[in-house]
Amino acid sequence: MTPLKYLTTLICFVFIAIRAASGEVRNEFGEVGGEVSFGSTSLNPSVSSIIWKHRSSTGPVVKAIEWDPAEDPDVSIPNPRFKDITTLNEKTGEITITNLTVEHSGFYTIDINSKEQEQRFSLTVMAPVPKPVIKIEKIEMNPNAVNLKCEYNETIIWKNSAGETLKGSPHTPKGELITAEKKGNPDVFYTCTLKNAVSESTSDPVYERDLFEESGLWWIALIVIPVLILALFVLLYKFWTKSHRKQYNLASEGNKMKEDAVSPDQKNVYKNGISDATQR
């Protein structure tokens, strides 16, 4: 063998070994509480028995479901982990597990006619991602930008209202952060989406108008201040005319009082005069 031929043969062997080790495992994913089916193959009609076995990362190999009509016409589910939630399609060999828990994760193999098949299945059961909430963090030195944080231990996808995917930077201890610059458009928004193999969930959008409050106040001030000034003028005018009228009223009332004040005196003088006259 020439060295080149030797090398080629070696590479071929490595290739075959890698394919044998990895090619026969199919990855399956299930959601906690959900349902999964796998192992559907077109079985040859001479199938006389099927056994699905499960090996978790810690425990021993257990039988998940067994169908052997020569022994028992019913399928049997010996392990409590699979009881009442596992079914088998005897025609295709497909196994279905409902009410999944994390304990159903692990490797599954299928024996057909008491012969273990080469294809194996790796099942990963995981919790669905929660609905994320974006946290807003002001940047002290820059009033025209804020940091948006999505603090989850999952795959994170940031998007803006234009549908563009934004690149986040890692945030410790977990999650990602983006910096939102002020665009001068209050309707611009940002979302954070969490994703795992079984689910995805998107946050409520965070709008620019909620990120830069001062700019909002500035616009409000621009409208409110002239209205306030106008209102002040109206009030002043009303107050002025009212006080003017009051002064006028006071003046006329004063005159009336003078009149009223005069007559009793006069009456008194008159009365006194009379009494004086009678006394005399």
Ligand X SMILES: *[C@@H]1O[C@H](CO)[C@@H](O)[C@H](O)[C@H]1NC(C)=O
> Kind of pairing, strands 189-195 and 155-160?
antiparallel
Please state the closest distance from residue 151 (CB atom) to ligand X, in A. Answer: 12
Please state the closest distance from residue 77 (CB atom) to ligand X, in A. Answer: 11
Toward ligand X, which CB reaches closer, 156 or 211?
A: 156
Please state the closest distance from residue 36 (CB atom) to ligand X, in A. Answer: 14
Which tokens go with 186? Answer: 């209050």
Q: Is 235 exposed, middle or buried (0-12, 13-18, 19+ CB in 10 A)?
A: exposed
Q: Which of 123, 143, 114, 107 lies closest to 35 in space, CA to CA?
A: 123
Toward ligand X, which CB reaches closer, 84 or 164?
A: 84
- The rounded distance, in Å, linking the Cα atoms of 176 and 158 is 9
Task: List interacting residues with ligand X (CB under 6 A).
Answer: 84-85, 99, 153-154
Toward ligand X, which CB reaches closer, 99 or 268?
A: 99
- The rounded distance, in Å, linking the Cα atoms of 97 and 41 is 17
Question: Residue 99 contacts by C-beta under 8 Å, 6 or more apart in sequence?
Answer: 33, 35, 85
Toward ligand X, which CB reaches closer, 67 or 152?
A: 152
Toward ligand X, which CB reaches closer, 130 or 184?
A: 130
- The rounded distance, in Å, linking the Cα atoms of 199 and 220 is 42
Question: Residue 1 contacts by C-beta under 8 Å, 6 or more apart in sequence?
Answer: 9
Please state the closest distance from residue 99 (CB atom) to ligand X, in A. Answer: 4
Please state the closest distance from residue 38 (CB atom) to ligand X, in A. Answer: 19
Please state the closest distance from residue 160 (CB atom) to ligand X, in A. Answer: 24
Sheet containing strand 145-150, strands side by side? 135-138, 145-150, 176-181, 169-170
Toward ligand X, which CB reaches closer, 154 or 208?
A: 154
In the bound complex, which residue of the shown chain has the CB atom lying closest to ligand X? 153
